[in-house]
A and B are shown apart, each in its own frame.
Chain A
Amino acid sequence: MTATALARFATSIDEVQGEKMNKAPASVVASAQGRGAVEIRRYSKTMGYVLGSDLVDDLVTKAGEHDEFINDYLACRPYLQAAVRSGVDPLAALETLLVVEAEGHLAVNWQGLAGLMSRTPIPAMVGEHGEGLGRGRLRAEAASFGGADDDDYSSFED
């Protein structure tokens, strides 16, 4: 992500929270601590934050901001945080997830999300409805079966 794009990202968050991050970064960090925020640092400098869900929800509510980017970002953020917590560099994760479109607008790169998810371990899953899942091992035994099945199925009558 370019510095401009990152600044745009930070600005988007600023717009949501209704205050300039560069005026009160400490308060943002303090507010976010323990609420799932991930600080993005480069060369010992704070570049931005991936904010926890409840905090972002608060900010969105306060600002009354529901533009498309924010909604896209909110939907993707739990996965972004999962990637970061699994060891992906936060800035690299953001670079993967976000793209700069025409006129400098930031947008979610959905295939970037898919790429990120393909490299992110999933916290132990349960089933679609919260049920436990059967995890099994199936090990293949190498065996030559002399080619594909070549039985004549057409000789069978309906």
Chain B
Amino acid sequence: MATQTAGVDEPWYTDPATTWVPACAASGRPFRYGDLFVAPPADADGQPLISTGKTPTPWDAVLVISPSCDVVSKAGADDAIHVTRVKDLTTQSQPQRAAVTAGWKLVDGQARVAFASFAYLPGVADSAAHKHDMYADFRQVRRVRYEDLAAAGRIAAMEHDARVALIRRELHYKYRWILSMDDVRGLEAARISGDGNYLGPRPAWAAGAT
């Protein structure tokens, strides 16, 4: 049942310092929803991943938005994985950059969701090429072959709590719902706890299957 707001909403994102799994620990993490990859040259239909602006340029990076199950355990080389384009946030104007970073902005003293189609992604400390702030553009989604994605290479694996925040943000993009972080985390916890084949370290809030 829908409930009325209590007057405040939760932050959109988790601490940027804990968004990405440190490189030294990433090898133990299978590919999942929210992981950041170098953009492969073309999608599953052979169409190049190139921007359509005045100066066409290859996509720089992509974020996996296929369900983790489809990426972790079922993907074959030719299976298509849904990815969304990731762009450099530092090239935007200061007000836009601030609004994307927060996920909201003030308009006439009222807090509004800012750029609902985008999700803020902090820079990856361990990546020389992606230390800068970025954002995922949910409007630019393509299907890429699993093998091409893996070959392009993962830049960073997303931490579990950041993934919860990303799911919440994507739910808002798709349906304009505001769910609490606890609700989304609870659903993830139930899903993961019930998955006897879960690979990699579980989140602290999702006990193993019994």
Contact = CB atoms under 8 A, between A and B. Distances in A.
Do A and B bind?
yes
B194 A142 contact: yes
Contact of A117 (B13, B123, B195): B13
Indicate the member of A76, A79, A120, A140 with the most B CB atoms within 10 Å: A140
B113 A127 contact: yes
The SS class assigned to the A binding surface is loop
A119 B133 CA distance: 18
Interface in A70-86: 71-72, 74-76, 78-79, 82
B112 A147 contact: no
Interface stretch (B41-49, B56-64, B90-98, B148-156): B90-98
B19 to A, nearest CB: 9
Interface string A130-158: 11011111111111111111100110000
Nearest to A116: B102
A127 B177 CA distance: 10
Nearest to B18: A118
Interface string B172-206: 00011111100110110111011111100000000
Contacts of A153: 74
B116 A127 contact: yes
Interface residues of B, number: 67
Contacts of B104: 122, 125
Interface stretch (A20-28, A55-63, A107-115): A107-115
Interface in B1-46: 1-17
Given A128-B114, A136-B2, A121 B10 contact: yes
Contact of B194 (A72, A126, A138, A144): A144
Contact of B101 (A113, A125, A139, A142): A113
Given A113-B101, A126-B113, A74 B94 contact: yes
Interface string B59-98: 0000000000100111010000000000000100111011
Interface of B: 1-17, 69, 72-74, 76, 90, 93-95, 97-98, 101-107, 110-116, 120, 122-123, 133, 175-180, 183-184, 186-187, 189-191, 193-198, 209-210
Interface of A: 71-72, 74-76, 78-79, 82, 110-111, 113-115, 117-131, 133-150, 153-154
